[in-house]
Structure 1
Amino acid sequence: MDIKSSRENDSDEVSQEKDNAPIHLEAKDGKLSKQQKIEEVEAAVTDPNVTLESFAHLDIKKIHRKMDLRLIPMLALLYLLSFIDRGNVANAKIEGLSEDLNLTGTQYNLCLTVFFFTYAAFEVPSNMLLKKFRPSIWLPTIMVAWGVVMTLTGIVQNYGGLLAARIFLGVAEAGLFPGVVYYNTMWYTRYEVQVRQAYFFSAASIAGAFSGLLAYGISFMDGVGGLAGWRWIFILEGILTVVVAVIAYFVIYDFPETASFLTPEERAFVVYRLRYDGQDVAADGQRVAQNEKQDWKSVKAAFLDWQIWINIFVYWGYVCPLYGVSLFLPTIIKDLGFSTTSSQLLTVPPYVVASVLTILVAYAADKRRIRSPFIMVCFVFQLVGFIMCISSGTFGVTYAGVFIAACAIYPTHPTNLTWLSNNLAGSYKRAVGVAIQISMGNMAGAMASNFYRSKDAPRYILGHALEIGFICVGMIATTILILSYDRINKKRAKRVANGEHVGFTPEELSDLGDRAITFRYTL
């Protein structure tokens, strides 16, 4: 029996024994409700006679192609629009937003800051609601909400109006990023998922490039309908978001158990691989249904997990620079003596290169099954970039420094997100843990919003110095995690070698999740 797979995961390395009959489920999807499909898959993957050999006749590469084509493009588009809508205020600023709204002092920075307060506050609740309402309902709904807010931002008349718009934009956008990160882990095993995270996150770097080009084009609408060009940036991009959101209701799939584009056998295979991903005895079992008591137990476990809180400092190490670049790059370039048009266009190249590197790093990390070395290397290049920015006030050196930093920042993000999700076992704990990481981590955006003050132009020494400080914090936190994971893995290996795992049932190991002695942390 030939297994059509490259065997990228340990869980795929099955024997070729002939006496294990393949599983065959009836193709009667049209007659089954979603609940019946879930029950059918659950019955198949919990059957003690079913092993990976039972699915040996399936082609995993073909299944992955199906999943990639139907999931990733829409997720990338959603995040592209999300990142454009939160960052286009930087493009609007150099088109006259501050002058027209009579913003003074630090008012612009405060408008950037408040976004992150509500954005952080609503991420954990949003991921919990995602499980309740399903991705195909929840993600498009919040997208409609932020599209409406973005459109209305185009008609604000003063500082108070802009401040309120940014507050509500944070509420509406909060659920998308942690939701998609968690959503991907429900389809792909832990050494397949970073490439997919990179595909959709590369949309963020593309957004930086596209936002500059789009703002450049829309700026020519200045005066149309009696509205300034910067207002049209918000209005048109907000309307586009709402249109895409309506389409998303019909094209986003929920989870593998009910995916109509997979055959019943393929659905069972995907769920089976996920359930036994990470260790030998199902410690990462992802139950199709969990009762409320188990869910709240997982929430508590996530909030008390040491690795999440240390990882937040890793997150701050690159997200502060990320928002520093995305929110202030047009202004930094303009203050070096360039026109508004040139400033918009010069933001494009760093983002294009960063998007390519994000995907290349993800492929390498998944292939080698490691995360932390790539994170550390990226931190080093970020450090080099900002040191160049702080050391010179000339355009060439500053632009080169920002270019290098941006190219290192964007690959770090999906690598670190995948690193933590790899090391959180259990569906619900992972959903909450990733949301905690992102919500607390994005408080860095609130800090970074105030790093680059107008009075520090054109060199912005304080802003660059603070970015350097956070990068160093991220490097220290990464080192702590590496040493801790390595120590725990070695200790667990000794316990397994002594046969201590034999005293646990698969159900007990499943309940222990990443605390089970058979679980190995990804380095």
Structure 2
Amino acid sequence: MRKSKLEKRLLLKMDVSIVPLLGLSFFIAYMDRNNLGNARIMGMQTDLALSDEQFFNCLMVFFVGYMVFMLPANLGMRVIGPPRQLGAAVIFFGVCGTCLSAVKSYGAVIGLRILIGMGEAFVQVGLLYFSFWYKRDEVATRAAVYYTSATISGCFSGLIAYGVQRNLDGVHGRHAWQWLYIVEGIPAIGLGIIILLFLPSFPDIIAKKGSHYFSNDEIDLALQRMAEGKFCGYKLKYSEIWLAFKDPKSYFTAVIYGALCLGIASVTSFLPTFIQAFGFDKRNTVVQTQLFTMIPYAFATVSLLTVCFLSDRINSKGPILFICMATSSVGYIILMATTNKVALIAGTCFVASGLYPAVILTVSWITINHGGYTKRSTAWAMAQITGQGLSIIGTQVYRTPPRYLAGHGTLLGFFCLALVSIVCNWFWMRRENHRKDARAEEFRAAGTKDEEAEKSMDELLDKHPSFKYIL
């Protein structure tokens, strides 16, 4: 369907104001979350005299803080408001990340990593926030641009670490890893202030308070688009929490997202370690290893944008998600099956190229197929809690260098389980769509009205006869 000039103007304003700010927040969050892996090979573990067990615990506790605050963050956004919640959270974890440059003990690292996890839990609501502004066939593309920040962050983190190692090590008596935390932490504070000032709130809130950026016609259209897009039930209703727990989709997607988070945690935490263990050359230095980490992230960036754009164009998620997960599974098989150095790099590219688009497809599958803000938030929180719980495993399974077969095998097993869950979720939603179609046909044949169809979308949510699941 062709869009009107008003809708094109609205979309442009949304894309200019919402996507860049959310993307930058995720870029900074992802960098601050995962710079511990780069700091490790820059000497942090040695300087602080951390054992391998203690280092793994430093990785793990981030996910504990993240997991505990997932549901409050999702539900709280409707009360706190996106600008205040996201802006304050970015400032908070930026301060904590910068403070890591001054740590002297294991306990200090643990405490700050927990706080960073808590702060970033309030940032991940960006994907949920998209559902207030974009239609169901627009979400994946914008979310892909947003999540590309993660892959670009992976590229830049290696490049930044390279620059810091080469130019700042020893400056003013600080180690390279200390400068890394300063260089990557301080920009978050400035970004948080910008988000507080410029990120739009929800369309219905703007409609009440007015806006200098959006015209009244644009806001009216934004509200109309949400109604047409079947994104219903914007009020915070605690009864919908139970509906999410009763919905089989919530569990299928939680398993899928859990496996993906396990994969993301292993890649972001250990990719520099993997590549260093490949042993391309005995002269291979830390800075060269940092540069090699850019290769898988570059492949992931291209696949993320391409795959998610395609999924919106054909308005399908499940089959493409299956292909992405299968691609990553092939990557883990390569990592386990060979010692050829070029093949090992190719294996990491397979893993990353399937992994990152799969995350966005899964998130989109959740947000577009759950009616009601509270139900959608709860289903997303269930997936996130499962994901962060399994991410803890991702920080603990890679203990057998140099080939890390046990870790790769664990990831492959979870990915196979996720493939089964994708199939189950797809068939369950297809059956429900067929059931709704059959019900509508029965009433048409009988010449009677369906009382359920006369009810509002806010009342029945995704159980409404007109709500069709996107497969």
Counterpart residue number, 1:345:
291
Counterpart residue number, 2:355:
409
Q: 1:191 aligns with which of 129, 137, 140?
A: 137
Q: How far does residue 399 in structure 1 lie from its aligned partner after superposition?
A: 1.0
Counterpart residue number, 2:436:
492
Contact between 1:496 and 1:518, CA under 8 Å: does it hold in 2? Answer: no
Aligned equivalents of 1:142, 1:189: Cα separation in 2? 27
| Closer/same/farther in 2, CA of residues 501 and 173 from structure 1, 3 Å limit | farther
Aligned equivalents of 1:204, 1:78: Cα separation in 2? 10
Contact between 1:94 and 1:340, CA under 8 Å: does it hold in 2? Answer: yes
Counterpart residue number, 1:320:
262
Q: So what's the TM-score if we normalise by structure 2?
A: 0.94
Q: How far does residue 361 in structure 1 lie from its aligned partner after superposition?
A: 0.9
Q: 2:37 aligns with which of 90, 94, 98?
A: 90
Counterpart residue number, 1:387:
333
Contact between 1:317 and 1:472, CA under 8 Å: does it hold in 2? Answer: no
Q: How far does residue 510 in structure 1 lie from its aligned partner after superposition?
A: 2.6
Contact between 2:145 and 2:305, CA under 8 Å: does it hold in 1? Answer: yes
Counterpart residue number, 1:171:
118
Structure 2 unaligned regions, length at least 5: none
Give CA deviations for 1:160-214 in whole Å, capped at 9, x if unaligned: 211111111111111111x101110000011111101001001001110000001
Aligned equivalents of 1:477, 1:519: Cα separation in 2? 22
1:254 and 2:206 matched: no
The alignment partner of 1:425 has SS state of coil
| Closer/same/farther in 2, CA of residues 162 and 483 from structure 1, 3 Å limit | same
Q: How far does residue 286 in structure 1 lie from its aligned partner after superposition?
A: 3.8
Contact between 2:255 and 2:386, CA under 8 Å: does it hold in 1? Answer: no
Q: How far does residue 415 in structure 1 lie from its aligned partner after superposition?
A: 0.7
Task: Kindly report which structure 2 residues correspond to 1:65-80, keeping only aligned pairs within 5 A, or say none.
Answer: 65-80=12-27
Contact between 2:338 and 2:344, CA under 8 Å: does it hold in 1? Answer: yes
Identity of aligned residues (%): 28
Q: How far does residue 146 in structure 1 lie from its aligned partner after superposition?
A: 0.4
Q: 2:178 aligns with which of 228, 231, 234?
A: 231
Counterpart residue number, 2:397:
451
The alignment partner of 1:520 has SS state of coil
Task: Kindly report which structure 2 residues correspond to 1:30-49, keeping only aligned pairs within 5 A, or say none.
Answer: none
1:264 and 2:221 matched: no
| Closer/same/farther in 2, CA of residues 418 and 141 from structure 1, 3 Å limit | same
Aligned equivalents of 1:505, 1:514: Cα separation in 2? 12
Aligned equivalents of 1:163, 1:432: Cα separation in 2? 28
1:469 and 2:469 matched: no
Structure 1 stretch displaced more, 432-441 or 64-73: 432-441
Counterpart residue number, 1:16:
none
Task: Kindly report which structure 2 residues correspond to 1:57-456, keeping only aligned pairs within 5 A, or say none.
Answer: 58-177=5-124, 179-219=125-165, 220-257=167-204, 258=206, 259-278=211-230, 284-287=231-234, 290=235, 295-337=237-279, 338-453=284-399, 456=400
Structure 1 stretch displaced more, 435-444 or 416-425: 435-444
Contact between 1:275 and 1:286, CA under 8 Å: does it hold in 2? Answer: no
Structure 1 unaligned regions, length at least 5: 8-56, 279-283
Give CA deviations for 1:289-319 in whole Å, capped at 9, x if unaligned: x4xxx61112232233221122111112322
Higher alpha-carbon Rg: 1
Aligned equivalents of 2:232, 2:195: Cα separation in 1? 29
Runs of 4+ in 1 over 6 A off after TM superposition: none
Give CA deviations for 1:52-93 in whole Å, capped at 9, x if unaligned: xxxxx6532232112101111111100000000000000000
Aligned equivalents of 1:102, 1:301: Cα separation in 2? 49
Aligned equivalents of 1:502, 1:309: Cα separation in 2? 30
Aligned equivalents of 2:121, 2:78: Cα separation in 1? 15
Aligned equivalents of 1:410, 1:162: Cα separation in 2? 28
Aligned equivalents of 1:285, 1:166: Cα separation in 2? 37
The alignment partner of 2:213 has SS state of coil
Q: How far does residue 457 in structure 1 lie from its aligned partner after superposition?
A: 1.2
Aligned equivalents of 1:475, 1:413: Cα separation in 2? 13
Q: So what's the TM-score if we normalise by structure 1?
A: 0.84
The alignment partner of 2:49 has SS state of coil
Give CA deviations for 1:389-429 in whole Å, capped at 9, x if unaligned: 01122321211100111111111111110011111011232
Opposite residue 115 of structure 2, the aligned amino acid is F
The alignment partner of 2:238 has SS state of helix
Counterpart residue number, 1:47:
none
Opposite residue 300 of structure 2, the aligned amino acid is A
Aligned equivalents of 1:489, 1:344: Cα separation in 2? 48
Aligned equivalents of 2:154, 2:11: Cα separation in 1? 29
Structure 1 stretch displaced more, 243-252 or 256-265: 256-265
Contact between 2:32 and 2:97, CA under 8 Å: does it hold in 1? Answer: yes
Aligned equivalents of 1:90, 1:298: Cα separation in 2? 39
Aligned equivalents of 2:449, 2:429: Cα separation in 1? 19
The alignment partner of 1:207 has SS state of helix
